[in-house]
Amino acid sequence: MSARVVLPGMLRELADGAAELPVELADAAPLAEVLDRAFEPWPILATRIRDERGEIRRHVNVFIDGEDAKRVAGVQTPVSPTSTVHVINAVSGG
Amino acid sequence: MSETIVGIGTRKGLWFARSEDREEWRVDGPHFLMSEVLSLLFDTRGGRTRTLVGFRSSHWGPSLQHSDDLGATWVEHPDGSIRFPDDTDTALKATWQLVADPHDGDVVWAGTEPQGLWRSEDAGETFELNRGLWEHPHRPEWGEGFGGGAIHTVLPSPATPDSMLVAMSTGGVYNTRDGGATWEPGNTGIRAYFMPHNEYPEFGQCVHKVARDSATSTRLYAQNHRGVYRSDDDGVTWTSIEEGLPTNFGMTAVAHPGRGDTVWLVPIASDGERIPPGAQLQTQRTDDAGATWRTQTTGLPSRSYTNVLRDAAGTDTHDQPGLYFGTRNGEVYASLDDGESYSRIAEQLPDILCVRAVTLS
């Protein structure tokens, strides 16, 4: 089974245009591990979403099956093998 | 035929103004649209023509990229050029300053938020944190100005390879004389009116910008948060040179690149009124190291309510240097006569954060 990591349009060029990245999972895994695996071929994409401490950037939201990971357990939130992970830029800016 | 390029870093991207004669300008961009462009370096040492840019997206974080073809293509290091080491448990917020080392043609210095000094030995592709400053015992007491807490000024000494000055707001000036191994505060004489219990502390001053004299390397000028100062001992002690200025507040200071004792400031009415004095946009120039000042307004708007931020002014590398500054309402002014007259070379840009210029032959 594969979880799906869905990218916002403005980041897709950093993944050769891919709209979503599959991550093979046998069992549930922490979000950090899923993102590490999804972005392994595209390290610049990884830096856009998490800082060098591994934390999700302040104005980036990551939803796991509709749940905001920051409101659950951050990058330790479990992702199931059938989950859809949406990476979305927060509604902020001027 | 030479070409002068003015890099204009704004709150929403980077533009370039280009000119062969510095009279007719064409503006192209944006690069890095919707990112705050806080730092810029044109590096022409050793035959390269490299543009280094530090910027941050409010969503996607900080980035540092370089171009070796004047912005046609950009390169980003896959792991990030500046990454705090794991043991610091710190994340980079932004790169505020990029400076070419005057002694080693491959060395570039960076000043960051939070307050870090970084050294690159590969012309800005990767950087290493200076531990001497990062682990300074004063660090917990350094503060944050409105824009954040950052090393905003990096001035390696052109005369002494192991000497360098850095500055931050708040925190003030720090100097090293041993290549960055140890750092000592250099704020004697700079007033910190906002610390009423001790207005002349060892450190903690709100120094907005420091410029080094082009003829006397141990002479420096500081635009402070209230107060303008000169140091004649390489940034250790300071004396006020604000007499004759319309106001002692401002953000930027630019030294003439080819003539000693000559510096420009762009005054702001006060910390409580961040508009030009008398609503007249102006530069103040000294030709005698701050003993006297002259007001320069020709070509600049009156009834102006904008101002100029700390890195939004610079000079090109032409034999007859041009002076350029950008305003918070997105205009760039150029002077080819040391500020005696100005012309507007760009307008309708976002809030301008940094301006750097180069003349290429």
CB B221 within 8 A of CB B160: no
For residue A33, give every residue at least 6 positions away whose Cβ sits within 8 Å of its Cβ, in sequence order, or none.
Answer: none
For residue B351, give the chain A residue with the closest CA. Answer: A94
Find tokens 């004669």 and name the residue.
Answer: B21
User: How many angstroms separate the CA atoms of B326 and B308, rounded?
Assistant: 6
What are the backbone dihedrals phi and psi of residue B107, each rounded to the nearest 5 degrees, phi first? -90, 130
Q: Are B235 and B173 in contact (CB under 8 A)?
A: yes
Distance from CA of B156 to the nearest CA of A (A): 28
Q: Render pLDDT for B186-217 as a digit per residue (tens, 0 to 9).
A: 999 999 999 889 999 999 999 999 999 999 99
Give the C-alpha separation, B42 to B52, whole Å: 7
Check pLDDT > 70 for residue A93: no
**Bridge-based pairing state of the strands B35-43 and B50-57:** antiparallel
Render pLDDT for B1-36 as a digit per residue (tens, 0 to 9): 899 999 999 999 999 999 999 999 999 999 999 999
Instruction: Check B83 against A11: CB less than 8 A apart.
Output: no
Residues 60-79 in A contacting B (C-alpha not used; CB under 8 Å): 60
Please say if the pLDDT value at position B147 is more than 90: no
Tell me A50's DSSP state.
B
Residue A52 token pair = 């060098």
- pTM score of the predicted model: 0.97
The length of chain B, given as a count of residues: 361
The residue type of B169 is S
B-chain residues within 8 Å CB-CB of A57?
Answer: 59-61
* Mean pLDDT of the B214-232 span: 98
Tell which residue, B265, B246, B209, B240, has the closest CA to residue B97: B209
pLDDT band at A94 (very low <50, low <70, confident <90, very high): low
- Per-residue pLDDT band for A91 (boundaries 50, 70, 90) equals confident
- Mean pLDDT score of chain A, rounded to an integer? 96
Query: Are B61 and A48 an interchain contact pair (Cβ–Cβ within 8 Å)?
Result: yes
Token pair 């895994």 in the structure block, residue: A29
Q: Which long-range contacts (CB under 8 A, 24 or more apart) does A45-51 make?
A: A45/A7, A45/A11, A45/A14, A45/A15, A47/B61, A47/B63, A47/B79, A47/B80, A48/A11, A48/A14, A48/B57, A48/B59, A48/B60, A48/B61, A49/A11, A49/A87, A49/B60, A50/A75, A51/B61, A51/B91, A51/B92
Which residue in the set B59, B89, B90 is minimally distant from A60, CB to CB? Answer: B59
* Inter-chain CB proximity A60 and B60 less than 8 Å: yes
What value does the mean pLDDT take over residues B300-305?
Answer: 97
SS3 B59: coil
How long is chain A? Answer: 94
Q: Do residue A52 and residue B34 have CB atoms under 8 angstroms apart?
A: no
Nearest-angstrom CA–CA distance, B201 and B319:
42
C-beta of residue B107 within 8 angstroms of C-beta of residue B125 = no
Q: Which residue in A1, A4, A2 sits closest to A86, CA to CA?
A: A4
Q: Which of B58, B63, B92 is nearest residue A59 as measured by Cβ atoms?
A: B58
ipTM of the complex: 0.93
Test the A interface: residue of B59, B65, B88 with most A CBs within 10 Å? B59
Minimal CA separation from A11 to chain B, in Å: 9
pLDDT at B329: 98
Does residue B163 contact residue B157 with C-beta atoms inside 8 Å?
A: yes
Are B134 and B92 contacting, i.e. CB atoms less than 8 angstroms apart? no
d(CA B326, CA B11): 12
CB-CB under 8 Å, A48 with B60: yes
Nearest CA in chain B to A10: B60
- Report how far residue B352's alpha carbon sits from residue B330's, in angstroms, rounded to the nearest whole number: 6
Q: Which of A51, A60, A88 has the most B C-beta neighbours within 10 Å, making it the best mutation to test the interface with B?
A: A51
Average of pLDDT values for B232-260? 98
The CA distance from B13 to the nearest CA of chain A, in Å, is 13
pLDDT digits (tens, 9 = 90+) for B252-290: 999 999 999 999 999 999 999 999 999 999 999 999 999
Q: How is residue B300 written in tokens?
A: 């600049």
Nearest to A52 among B59, B76, B83 (CB): B83
Using an 8 Å CB-CB cutoff, list chain B residues near A90: 59
Search chain A and give the residue with CA nearest B83: A52
